[in-house]
Amino acid sequence: MVLWHPPDAPWVKLNTDGAFSTSTLEAGDGGLVRGSDGGLLWAFCSPIAASSSFEAELLALIQGLEMAMELSTHIWIELDSGALVTLLSSGQLGSADLRHHMALIRSMTAQRHVRFSHIYREGNRAADSLAGRGPRPLPSRTTIQSLRLGT
């Protein structure tokens, strides 16, 4: 059984996912940031312009990083794309068509403590579900922010 585990303080954990349909060419992203108590700090889902599932994964990560950076300088990024975790951990920029996304991610994480890890889809269900809702037409970007307990 694959389970999601909260990070140790002072880390926040960012889980993101991208969805892309080859039949409709629609894409969406989704993700959430949770604290060391496992509580939800921020969540999102939205339609995006992507040309592949890998690009959707990258765009979801960028959106999630923007949120997580407002909350902490210690960000644990957990993704269900093993290929993306490998690329991010390697220091490479990847293929030419995605290098601008990778360069942006590198610049966003440069001044932060960042950890990348892989989680199986079963443990990333919340982000997967949000990403699956992303392609559906929404009036605007949907952002859900919860109150931090004890602050």
pLDDT tens-digit readout, 93-136: 888 989 999 999 999 999 999 999 999 999 999 999 999 887 77
With tokens 């990847």, the residue in question is 94
Residues 6+ apart with CB under 8 A from 23: none
Is the pLDDT score of 8 beyond 50? yes
Residue 91 counted as domain residue = yes
Residue 5 counted as domain residue = no
The neighbouring-strand residues paired with 113 are: 74
The number of distinct structural domains making up the chain is: 1
| Lowest-confidence segment of 55-59, 131-135, 146-150 by average pLDDT | 146-150
Residue 2 counted as domain residue = no
The residue type found at 131 is A
Domain assignment of residue 90, given as a range? 12-145
Residue 76 counted as domain residue = yes
Asked if 28 and 141 count as a contact pair (C-beta separation under 8 A), the reply is no
CATH number at residue 109: 3.30.420.10
Residue 138 counted as domain residue = yes
pLDDT at 2: 83
Residue 151 counted as domain residue = no
Please give the DSSP secondary-structure letter assigned to residue 24.
T
Residue 75 counted as domain residue = yes
